[in-house]
Structure 1
Amino acid sequence: MTSIRHTTLLCAALFAAAPLAHAEEAAPASDWTVPMSVTLVSDYIFRGQSQTWGGPALQFSIEAVHSSGFYAGFFASNVSDHRLPGAAVETDLYGGYRTKVADTIGVDVGAVYYMYPGANWEDSPFVGMNARNRLDTAEAYVALSWEWLTFKTGRTLNEYFGWSTNNSPPVLGFAGDPAAGVTGNTRGSHYFELNAAYDVAEGWNVSGQIGRQIVRNSTGLDITYYKVGVTRALPDGWSAGVFYSASSEPNAYKDFVSLDNGRSDSDIAKDKLFVSVTKAF
């Protein structure tokens, strides 16, 4: 009698637990992933040029990725008004679609909108070259990847960070090269670059980049840029990297006069070693 009772209780317990186990197994995985990160970098270098006048930057990034391949993201970083008139912060909104066309071949098509809240070329200290014009820039891009290599190109859909014949003209616009400057509408400025990222050992990644930025309707402003680096993955989502940035250093970017005070200057495209520390969530 006791044996029968124990068997009955065991069966009842199994039947009671079965719906719970089934519910746990049936819970669908989310179609979304939302990676985010915070990075401290000793210099914010964008296509060979310092955006922070050689100083450090604190950066935040978040991206929502759907299993279908669609994604949208947000990036923020402090910048310098010496380099970008009236700007203190850069905030980027971007989105697009990524997919695989073969096991090792991927395609990424999207657009990014660079925003500088409150910034305007009217904040430039150079009288007569400070007509009102925003820095905000829209850019469409496409990338093709194969294993650890990615080729990417993009084109601006409006003026290139507000550069115009008013604020960046030849003769007056660039102290390092008086002949350099904008000669027409900079809409349609474009870039192309080749990026590599390869895991050489567990937790170790080496990367490289070579690119070319072409400013439409300009002279002396196009720049070729390079970057190599090593990144080490650390526990709990941390990583650290050291990088070397170099460029063709056009004379226009040497002795670049501050767009905040009109007096100090900096070589904003000089070769430079910089480091980063990132926490991913």
Structure 2
Amino acid sequence: MNTRIRILAAACAALGLLPAAHAADPAPASDWTVPMSVTLVSDYIFRGQSQTWGGPALQVSIEAAHSSGFYAGFFASNVSDHWLPGAAVETDLYGGYRTKVADTFGVDVGAVYYMYPGANWSDSPFTGFNARNRLDTAEAYVAVSWEWLTFKTGRTLNEYFGWSTNNSPVNGGFFGDLNAGVTGNTRGSHYFELNAAYDVAEGWNVSGQIGRQIVRHSTGLDISYYKVGVTRTLPDGWSAGLFYSASSEPNAYKDFVSLDNGRSTSDIAKDKVFVSVTKAF
């Protein structure tokens, strides 16, 4: 290139008439998202029943989701050994596949494994009701959603949190109702529930839930549960919620005697207001 051409090229570049050198290509978007959250709740209520004997819980949740629809996650919370013999912590592993069939219709199929490290029904203080049996439970589930409504159902693949005729029998397993109790193998216990979550304004969401838990081969232990609440999204990933939980309150869960000391009592499934504060990352 002679001197005249070089001068002309430099002038064109200065005037922006020549394409600039290629900028570095942006990094491709990842196929994975990994949301994480930490939540403090004033009571950990699971299907209408307090898992913390009415006390607060600190919970951690993390999930890895792929753009294909496959996902896996982990959840942890403190729990009470008054209700779950020998348990201090619940750790859940779950995974599955979720997809959109249409813009407003989705399907989610998966399984969850509830684990209680070191916990066992042998930790119960009640002689004759403390045969060795772990609480760990596997459960398969399927959910279908339409816009802001979701219907979900699940079924246990082993005994329901270790409940058996050895630790939760009729005539002695539940002091609130001596006619209530387990009559056979609780594998195959199932639940179904309808959930709603609707954004009523920017940063405000109202939610509701109605469900029923069926404990297979039992009497007096099935429970219906309900929940309504409102959640406010706050800056920097924070949110706060106020909820009201209620249930059909079977007599078996009223004045439930502690599985830790055999003396304290609590209405496990009583109606209750609770609050939550969450930080999402």
Deviation sequence 1:187-229 (CA, Å, 0-9, x none):
0000000000000000000000000000000000000000000
Structure 1, 96-105 or 72-81: larger mean CA deviation: 96-105
For the pair 1:226 / 2:226, whether they are aligned, the reply is yes
Task: Indicate the residue corresponding to 2:214 in structure 1.
Answer: 214
Task: Indicate the residue corresponding to 1:7 in structure 2.
Answer: 11
Task: Indicate the residue corresponding to 1:145 in structure 2.
Answer: 145
Deviation sequence 1:170-194 (CA, Å, 0-9, x none):
1110010000000000000000000
Amino acid at match of 2:139: E
Task: Indicate the residue corresponding to 1:32 in structure 2.
Answer: 32
- CA-CA distance at 1:15 after TM superposition: 7.2
Task: Indicate the residue corresponding to 2:243 in structure 1.
Answer: 243
How do 1:1-281 and structure 2 match up within 5 A?
A: 4=8, 6-7=10-11, 10=14, 17-18=21-22, 20-21=23-24, 23-24=25-26, 27-281=27-281
- CA-CA distance at 1:10 after TM superposition: 4.9
Q: Distance in 1 between matches of 2:8 and 2:20?
A: 18
Amino acid at match of 2:11: T
Q: Distance in 1 between matches of 2:21 and 2:265?
A: 72
SS at match of 1:261: coil
Residues 243, 17 of structure 1: alpha-carbon distance in 2 compared, 3 angstrom cutoff = same
Q: Distance in 1 between matches of 2:71 and 2:181?
A: 37
- CA-CA distance at 1:17 after TM superposition: 3.7
SS at match of 2:162: coil
Superposed CA RMSD: 1.7
- CA-CA distance at 1:3 after TM superposition: 5.7
Q: Distance in 2 between matches of 1:5 and 1:188?
A: 78
Deviation sequence 1:83-103 (CA, Å, 0-9, x none):
000000000000000011111
Q: Distance in 1 between matches of 2:210 and 2:194?
A: 5
Q: Distance in 2 between matches of 1:280 and 1:94?
A: 19
TM-score relative to the length of structure 1: 0.95
SS at match of 2:43: coil
- CA-CA distance at 1:128 after TM superposition: 1.3
- CA-CA distance at 1:5 after TM superposition: 7.3
Q: Distance in 1 between matches of 2:255 and 2:204?
A: 37
- Flag structure 2 segments of 5+ consecutive residues without an equivalent: none
Q: Where do 4+ consecutive residues of structure 1 move more than 6 Å?
A: none
How many residue pairs are counted as aligned between the two chains? 276
- CA-CA distance at 1:28 after TM superposition: 1.3
SS at match of 1:172: coil
- CA-CA distance at 1:16 after TM superposition: 7.5
TM-score relative to the length of structure 2: 0.95
Q: Distance in 1 between matches of 2:155 and 2:170?
A: 23
Q: Distance in 1 between matches of 2:141 and 2:10?
A: 68
Amino acid at match of 1:240: A
Q: Distance in 2 between matches of 1:10 and 1:90?
A: 66
Q: Distance in 2 between matches of 1:101 and 1:152?
A: 16
Amino acid at match of 2:277: V
Amino acid at match of 1:271: D
Q: Distance in 2 between matches of 1:179 and 1:241?
A: 38
- Flag structure 1 segments of 5+ consecutive residues without an equivalent: none
